[in-house]
């Protein structure tokens, strides 16, 4: 069993897409990097829908070919049924030559983590981080419990920089007490599970059996209902189905009652009911996550960076989660690499990184939840990002925003940023052409 070192240049907490990508960026630059992950991979994880933007980040770390070789399902776009209106988006209409993907996250995440290790990062699974001490501002000390081999060995490691990619546990944000759940009006929880033999929605707008995946590309299917919204994502051999409902809806329910609620809701909702008619629920697959969307007031400091879900989580109606994680990893590690070259400027680099990551989170939150100026969204940062996006990418996002009823504030920001008027007529034509 490999021994965890006493010190390193950068310590990464968490081996999900954010942590593994950050470790890869650093290791490829020759930086001494240690990654501690509490779970043993592969491990279950939700968030199977990836939009094509993610490829540019996996190209940077050199893992794209390994992902391609795995043979994940290529998705052509998305279809939503929201408040009775049906819309479709095809990525190819916006200049994307590579597809989105439907991935089994246990396999996808393991590919990224193994790639980080192959690039020179020292990866330790089965190690749970417990506390971080910043009493010595030059060298943070991180305390952990090493559970490998069935033991519980306590230990500590010092590092020059700490990256928190601990996911929903938000290790540092909770320790610093800067994590904030969004307003009660948009406070949801998620329930999700898996079905065998479900039908899937194809790019041809029809439902098909799994055998048709050989010839017809699937789409991510999203639908609103009276209490929230749902997703249906076809995978290899099963389908992921999730319900997003107000936090109070399952309050007081035990595990058995939550499963009964989930299965009953799935069988009564139109469209979803039809997709699941020939399907069989995979027993024991139901999972639950409260405190659905949140943000952190501060995510970067002189010697620490919170990235991915450790910093914030946004309602995933537009599948931004993995993209945000990969973007954060690239941004934070760039700041760290520059800080290692010029320690006197490390506070400035962390401040720049904070601004960029909060901008990206704010953009996603404004798009997904319709926030304008509240709940951790800085409107000016969002508008600045809008101005910098390539026209086709911005147009895709604006069109996507029209697929739900949460677009008014987002479009208002686009108008104030001066980017909507450039193609508003074509944008409206495209919106009208998407409905069916």
Distance separating alpha carbons of residues 312 and 344, to the nearest angstrom: 28
First to last CA, the chain: 59
Tokens of 18: 């954010």
- pLDDT one-digit tens code per residue, 156-211: 999 999 999 999 999 999 999 999 887 666 678 899 999 999 999 999 999 999 99
Residue 5 DSSP label: P
Residue 136 confidence (pLDDT) above 70: no
Q: How confident is the model at residue 424 (pLDDT cuts 50, 70, 90)?
A: low
Instruction: Kindly list the structural domains of the chain, giving each domain's residue range(s) and its CATH number in brackets, ordered by start.
Output: 1-48+104-181+294-377 (3.50.50.60), 49-102+188-290 (3.30.9.100), 389-434 (no CATH)
In this predicted structure, the answer to whether residue 3 has a pLDDT above a threshold of 80 is yes
- The overall longest dimension of the chain from CA atoms, in Å, is 64
> Per DSSP, what are the bridge partners of residue 33?
10
Task: Please name which of 360, 283, 374, 342 lies closest in space to residue 53, comparing C-alpha atoms.
Answer: 360
Condensed to tens digits (0 to 9), the pLDDT of residues 331-360 reads 999 999 999 999 999 999 999 999 999 988
Q: Give CA–CA dist 113/127, Å, rounded.
A: 15
Structure tokens at 375: 């709940």
Window from 342-346, 396-400, 405-409 with minimum mean pLDDT: 405-409
Decide: 334 and 196 in contact? Cβ < 8 Å.
Answer: no
């Amino acid at each position: 069993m490999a021994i965890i070192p006493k010190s390193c240049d950068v310590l990464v907490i968490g081996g999900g897409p954010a942590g593994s990508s950050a470790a890869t960026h650093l290791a490829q630059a020759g930086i001494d990097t240690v990654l501690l992950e509490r779970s043993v991979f592969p491990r279950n994880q939700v968030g199977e829908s990836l939009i094509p933007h993610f490829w540019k980040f996996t190209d940077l770390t050199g893992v794209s070919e390994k992902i391609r070789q795995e043979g994940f399902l290529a998705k052509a776009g998305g279809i939503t049924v929201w408040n009775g209106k049906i819309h479709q988006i095809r990525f190819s209409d916006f200049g994307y030559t590579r597809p989105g993907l439907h991935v089994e996250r246990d396999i996808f995440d393991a590919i990224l983590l193994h790639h980080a290790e192959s690039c020179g990062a020292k990866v330790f699974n089965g190690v749970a981080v417990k506390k971080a001490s910043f009493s010595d501002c030059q060298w943070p000390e991180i305390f952990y419990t090493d559970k490998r081999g069935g033991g519980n060995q306590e230990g500590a490691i010092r590092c020059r920089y700490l990256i928190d990619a601990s996911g929903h546990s938000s290790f540092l944000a909770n320790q610093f007490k800067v994590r904030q759940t969004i307003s009660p009006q948009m406070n949801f929880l998620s329930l999700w599970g898996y079905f065998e033999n479900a039908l899937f929605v194809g790019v041809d707008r029809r439902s098909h059996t799994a055998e048709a995946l050989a010839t017809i590309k699937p789409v991510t299917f999203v639908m609103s209902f009276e209490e929230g919204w749902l997703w249906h994502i076809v995978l290899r051999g099963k389908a992921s189905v999730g319900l997003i409902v107000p936090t109070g809806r399952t309050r007081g329910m035990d595990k058995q009652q939550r499963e009964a609620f989930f299965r009953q809701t799935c069988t009564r909702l139109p469209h979803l009911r039809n997709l699941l008619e020939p399907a069989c629920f995979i027993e024991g697959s139901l999972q639950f996550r409260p405190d659905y969307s949140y943000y952190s007031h501060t995510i970067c400091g002189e010697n620490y960076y919170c990235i991915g879900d450790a910093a914030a989580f946004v309602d995933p109606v537009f599948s931004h989660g993995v993209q945000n994680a990969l973007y954060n990893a690239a941004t934070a590690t760039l700041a760290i690499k520059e800080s290692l070259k010029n320690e006197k400027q490390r506070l400035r680099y962390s401040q720049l990184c904070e601004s960029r990551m909060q901008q990206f989170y704010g953009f996603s939150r404004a798009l997904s939840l319709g926030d304008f100026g509240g709940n951790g969204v800085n409107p000016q940062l969002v508008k600045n990002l809008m101005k910098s996006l390539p026209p086709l990418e911005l147009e895709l996002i604006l069109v996507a925003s029209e697929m739900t009823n949460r677009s008014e504030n987002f479009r208002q920001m686009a108008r104030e940023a001066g980017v909507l008027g450039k193609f508003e007529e074509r944008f409206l034509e495209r919106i009208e052409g998407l409905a069916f």
